[in-house]
Amino acid sequence: MAAPDGPRRPPRLSAGAGHWSTTVVRAGALRPRLVGQDGIDVDDLLVSVADKVWKGKRVTDLEALLVDRLAEVTGRERWSVFLDLDDILDRLAADADRWLAFQATHPVRH
């Protein structure tokens, strides 16, 4: 939705308000910038992939970046890392409807 004076901006996450941990704020801030950026560590990529997969979404570019980083830090062949990661993500994504239904029965209070 656009405001009269231009596009509406999403709210900023702030750890200072006491509602969000620094890790959550950092992951939320990084998520839109992950693909195509150098120097992003494996932890940030795992958080971003997990955030998509538990909802049943597979993001090829993001997963490819994670495969590259995992192959780099483990010394394994890229194809081997891809096969293992793909199997794991398939199993997680397959349960997405059950996870989302569970979450819907436990709404977060603001």
**Tens digits of pLDDT across the chain (110 residues):** 444 554 444 445 444 555 555 555 555 555 444 444 566 778 888 999 998 998 899 999 999 999 998 998 889 999 999 999 999 999 989 988 888 888 888 877 77
Evaluate whether residue 26 is within a structural domain. yes
Q: What is the amino acid identity at position 27?
A: A
Number of domains within the chain: 1
Q: Is residue 67 part of a domain?
A: yes
The answer to whether residue 63 sits within a structural domain is yes
Distances (CA, A) of 70 to 26, 29, 76: 21, 22, 8
Provide the pLDDT for residue 99: 81
Residue 51 covered by a domain: yes
Considering the domain boundaries, does residue 8 fall inside one?
A: no
Question: Is there a domain that residue 9 lies in?
Answer: no
Q: Which domain holds residue 94?
A: 21-30+38-104
Within a domain: 43: yes
State residue 32's pLDDT score: 47
What is the pLDDT, as a whole number, of residue 84? Answer: 96
